[in-house]
Amino acid sequence: MIDERSFEQYDLRGQADKAIYDISKFLDKPEYADHAMENLFNIALLAAIRLNEVRRSNPKLAKRFAGTRTQWPYWISPSLTGWKEYGVPPEVWEIVHNLGIGNADGAWPIKGTEDLVGRAIKSWKSGIAEIRRDPDADPVFSGHPEVHSPYGDYDHKHVLDLPNLGKDKPSCRAWAKAIFDLIFIQYSLSNQVPDSFNEEGVAIVEIEAGKSEYFDKSFIAYSLLRPSSDTFMENKIADAQTKWDESQRIAISSLNESPTNEEVRAKTEEIFKRMYDSETPEEIGDHPTDKEFRANTVAYIMGRLKTMVY
């Protein structure tokens, strides 16, 4: 029988998650944003303090736990000297090196250089893996109907029902689709552009409302992932332009010696549609369709995931 105390912890975790989510919604309301930031800060600080106390009171437990993680909550205090002048403060060095953050097999899966998109993919890959490693991730709650399970339809769709990740296309595609959705869910909680976007030169895309469901859901997530479609769009427009030029050549040769611009365009469009049955360069516009955007991004994430699998 599963220890009832574990169910109590899951219930409390669910309450904490909901409280943080509800507080975060106030960040978009100017009159409440300061208080929301203060509440989130105090919650994070309290949790970090309690977690770091374990490093001192139960170092074996902390070290065993840290080895399977890629992050460790910490706070920067004015009393810490030498942050800029002499490198990393001793406390941070102790956490990163002596505690052994991420020293377990597969805890640091990414290879090569990292960028903002790479770190987002890596973060979600690690987060998914951590939940899937939880022995109680999909517990049987039939004996405790009064206890709410934190692993509902959302977690099953995005985490628990995924196949094991390998270098094969089916598993990479399934994880890439889940990570795509999770990135949009993450950034849809706020309309504040992260400082990291400015620091790393992420271009904020502008699209008229109603033209893209993904953009309307989160222009931040859309902007982060949009470069995965830029080359596709350039090639698509170039291909359409080549076909248009050929259609125009045929149109001019079929008309009289002095056709008007309107006649040439009308004949060119007629031939273009008959021969290729596709969008003209002007009809393509500046942005991919949502279907194209998702397909391009999932393919891109798949490629990055393959570099993270040993």
pLDDT at 297: 93
Q: Which residue has the tokens 């795509």?
A: 180
The residue type at 41: F
Q: Tell me the C-alpha distance between 210 and 224, whole Å.
A: 19
Q: Which amino acid is at 108?
A: W
Secondary structure class of 258 (helix, strand, coil): coil
Rounded to whole angstroms, how far apart are CA atoms 144 and 4?
A: 9
DSSP structure class, residue 200: T
Kindly give, in sequence order, each residue whose CB lies less than 8 Å from that of residue 123, ignoring residues fewer than 6 positions away: 70
Largest distance between two CA atoms of the chain: 92
Question: What tokens appear for 72 in the block?
Answer: 């460790």
Say how far apart CA 162 and CA 151 lie, in whole Å: 14
What helix, strand, coil percent values describe the chain, rounded to 5?
Answer: 65, 0, 35
Q: How far is CA 17 from the centre of its chain?
A: 19
Q: How far apart are the C-alpha atoms of 48 and 112, rounded to whole Å? A: 30
Angle formed by the axes of helices 227-254 and 290-306, nearest 10°: 130
Number of C-beta neighbours around residue 34 at 10 A: 11
pLDDT (0 to 100) of residue 138: 55
Q: Which two tokens stand for residue 83?
A: 């942050």
> Cβ neighbours of residue 106 under 8 Å, at least 6 residues apart?
129, 310
Place of tokens 């002596």: 98
Predicted pLDDT of residue 115:
75
* Best CA proximity match to 266, nearest among 280, 276, 278: 280
Residue-wise pLDDT tens for the chain (310 aa)? 445 556 677 678 778 888 888 899 888 888 888 888 888 888 888 888 888 888 888 888 888 888 877 777 776 655 555 444 445 666 676 766 677 666 665 555 444 445 788 888 888 888 788 777 765 555 443 344 444 445 455 565 667 778 888 888 999 999 999 999 889 988 888 888 888 888 788 889 999 999 999 999 999 999 999 988 888 888 888 888 999 999 998 988 888 778 888 888 999 999 989 998 888 888 887 889 999 999 999 999 998 888 777 5
Question: Distance between CA atoms of 113 and 205, rounded to whole angstroms?
Answer: 25
**What is the pLDDT at residue 125?**
86
Helix (H, G, I), strand (E, B) or coil at 299: helix
Of 253, 249, 292, 248, nearest in space to 266 by CA: 248
| Both structure tokens of 13 | 């975790």
What does the alpha-carbon distance between residue 18 and residue 52 come to, in Å, rounded to a whole number?
24
